[in-house]
Amino acid sequence: MQKENQIIVDGLTFIPYLNCETIRTEVERVGKEIARDYEGKQPIFLCVLTGAFVFASDLIRATGLTDSKITFIRYKSYEGTSSSGSVKQITGLTDDISGRDVVIIEDIVDTGLTACRMIEDLKKQNPTSVKFATLLYKPESSQTGFVPDYVAFKIPPKFIIGYGLDLDGKARNLPDIYVIKEG
Ligand code: 5GP
């Protein structure tokens, strides 16, 4: 349901936060940073399903790294609008990443628990390097001190939907990013 610029999903109201032009500019900036850092290399991008699929699609094209590969893993730590605190792997990685330069592509870093767990798991498979790219990063929510290597936007600790991010599976298809309306 949509009313003027507001979006209502599952009875919660969201207001526009980042429009698609702003998102594109920052995703292209991050893509260029990755292209510069991985010039002459063959990185493997790990897109974290489901939320990162839109960002990953734009980001890998923005890098222009034709020798890169992309594959998909799935972790889940959220129910509704608040973190459950538990982090678990639902679908594992099937590609061999030993001796590879890995770049994880995630939609959002909130507490940092998911990111730390993923990096810990991946390092057991002896990659040459593991770096972390995220569309959104909430530094004030961190419970781990984790700092992503590539960040499109630093944001305050508020709940976001759109551009791949969901509310209980909905709203991933919004081209813009919306923030929950408070009060
Ligand atoms: P963390 O482990 O860093 O606390 O949480 C990471 C995961 O929580 C993200 O991959 C995402 O699925 C979910 N998450 C955290 N903040 C938000 C948010 O503002 N909106 C949505 N839709 N998901 C979020």
Joined together, the tokens standing for residue 162 give 């759109």
Instruction: Give the bridge partners for 9, in sequence order.
Output: 12
| Average pLDDT value over all residues in the chain | 90
pLDDT tens digits along 40-59:
999 999 999 999 999 999 99
Residue nearest atom 17 of ligand 1, based on CA coordinates:
159
d(CA 12, CA 54) in angstroms, rounded, equals 23
3-state secondary structure of 59: helix
70-104 pLDDT tens trace: 999 987 544 555 555 554 554 568 889 999 999 99
d(CA 175, CA 136): 15
Query: Which amino acid residue places its CA nearest to atom 4 of ligand 1?
Result: 111
The answer to whether 4 and 14 have CB atoms below 8 angstroms apart is: no
Instruction: State if residue 73 touches ligand 1 by the CB under 6 angstroms criterion.
Output: no
- Full set of structural domains in the chain with CATH: 19-180 (3.40.50.2020)
DSSP 149: S
Q: Please indicate, yes or no, whether the overall pTM of this predicted structure exceeds 0.85.
A: yes
